[in-house]
Structure formats: structure tokens, C-alpha cells
Amino acid sequence: METKALWAQLERVLDPELDESIVRLGFVQRVEQEGQRVRVVLRLPTYWCSPNFAYLMADGVRRALLERSEIAQVEIVLEDHFASDVLSRGVSAGRSFCELFPDEATEELEELRKRFLIKGYLSRLLVLVQALRNAGAPGSVLARARLAALVSSGEDAWLCDEDNRYGPIRARIADRYLARRAELGLPMDADAPLLLRPDGSAIGEEELPDELRRLRATVVNLRASTALCEALLESRQQWWTAERKEALR
């Protein structure tokens, strides 16, 4: 398996809180392959990054790579984290979070994962709605639209409503929304409403303005957290590089 394909596989692993690829965020430092064995080096934004978040990302890397039949073993190395040794050895061995931190596992990780999936879904829903509104789609059209009306071709997507077509918007916006919607088990049939709350209920035209206000608050928090994490990681990488240069003198 080529290194490029390994990186592409890791693109699918998200920071659970930020709903962004750990590759794009710069958390993946190195990917090394020897036969059927892959070694991945991770470095998170802070030394004190919550162990449950760190576990979710590290285990996500292991699971994503093991989906490939040509990979039999994944070694995770988490650098410069207060629980580096425990997480690196434990995740590489496929052990659960509760096994690694029996005194700290106060919440099932699947429940935590679901909460962050919902948070990311709301963010993606808002991005989709904003893109379509910027493309001229009024609230009345969005509220009555069905999933089949969202059509993609190449890098573009459109919302088709009777004789009107709104767009193009970036197909990636539509694809990300649909992917997270499917992950949450929400209806994906062609006649399902385009705009759904995480509980599966449709968002009506009169409710849309209030829903958008709530969604914007969610997204503002996500974007602020993303910017902070990126800044912390950049600062940490500069410090790391300077320290290594000093050690080599």
C-alpha cells in the first residue's frame, strides 16, 4: 500500500470535538510502513489533551488503517502527552478506554462519540443551508425540499426545485452533510426531508430562522476551538523543532 493511500485513509479520522480531519489539523506527524505493519506518530495540540479525546483519535487511526486487508498491525505512537505510554501501548494492542483508565472512565466512549457526531452534524447542516441560501434558495424551498433534490456532479452540487435550480455550491459541502447524516442513522431515502434535526424531525419554514440561530452558536464555538487548537499546535511544533535543534548541537 502506497504512503499516499495511507494518508488518504487517515483523512477520514476526525478530531471528535472539532469535526476536522486530524491530517488537516496537523496531528499526524509521520506514517511508516514495513510490510503489513504500519506505524503512525501523533502529536496533539497540548500535553494535557483529554485522554478520552486522545484515545478516540488514536483508536480511530488504528481502526481506519485496519480496514485495509493488506494491513495486519498498526502501532500508534503518541508523542509528548501526559499519558503517552499508556495510550500508545494500549491503543496499539486494541485495548478499550475503560481498560486503560478504569478510574477515569465515567462515560462510555460511544456515548461521547455520538454527542460529537451530533455536534458535527449541526455544523455541517448550517454550512449546507448557508451555501444554498447564498445561492438564492429561499427558506420556503429549503423547508419543503426532499433529499432527492440535492444533486451533485463533479465538484458542484445544486438544489433542484420544480423549474428552479439553486447553485452551484461545492459538492464537498453536500457530501459531508450526507455522510454525517448517514452516520447518525437518519433517513437517507430520496423522499426524506432535506433538513432534519438530529432526532430525525423535519425543520419547517417557520422554525428555520430560530434553528439557524441555534446552529450558528454551535458553529461559532467549533470554529473558535479549531483556531485555538491550530494555534496551540503550531506553537508546540515550533518549540519542538527548536528543542531538537538545540539537542543536536
Q: Taking 80 as the threshold, does the pLDDT of residue 187 lie above it?
A: yes
pLDDT at 65 over 90: yes
Pairwise CA distance, residues 195 & 191, whole Å: 12
Let me know: does 123 contact 222? Beta carbons within 8 Å. Answer: yes
CA distance linking residue 52 with residue 16, whole number of Å = 10
Residue 225 in this model has a pLDDT that exceeds 60: no
Least reliable range by pLDDT among 2-6, 108-112, 219-223: 219-223
Q: What is the pLDDT of residue 245?
A: 45
pLDDT for position 49: 83
pLDDT at 222: 57
Mean pLDDT calculated for residue range 101-126: 81
For residues 15-36, average pLDDT = 90
pLDDT given for residue 226 in this prediction: 58
| 92 CB neighbour count, 10 Å cutoff | 19
**Separation of alpha carbons 160 and 150, rounded Å:** 7
Q: Which amino acid is at 232?
A: L
**With pLDDT > 90 as the criterion, what percentage of the chain qualifies?**
60
* Per-chain mean pLDDT for the chain: 86
Instruction: In the chain, list all ranges with CATH 3.30.300.130.
Output: 3-106
The predicted model gives 165-182 an average pLDDT of 95
pTM of the shown model: 0.74
Residue 116: the pLDDT is 84
Q: What is the mean pLDDT of residues 143-172?
A: 94
Indicate the class that CATH gives domain 3-106: alpha beta
Burial of 246 (0-12, 13-18, 19+ CB in 10 A): exposed
Given this model, what pLDDT does residue 111 score? 80
Q: Looking at residue 227, what is its pLDDT?
A: 59
Per-residue confidence (pLDDT) for residue 217, from 0 to 100: 75
Scored b (16 or more CB within 10 A) or e, 15-32 reads bbbbbbbbbebbbbeebe
CB-neighbour burial class of residue 143 (10 A; exposed 0-12, middle 13-18, buried 19+): middle
Specify the DSSP class assigned to residue 205.
T
Helix, strand, coil content of the chain in percent (nearest 5): 50, 20, 30
Residue 238's pLDDT is 62
pLDDT of 243 over the 60 cut: no
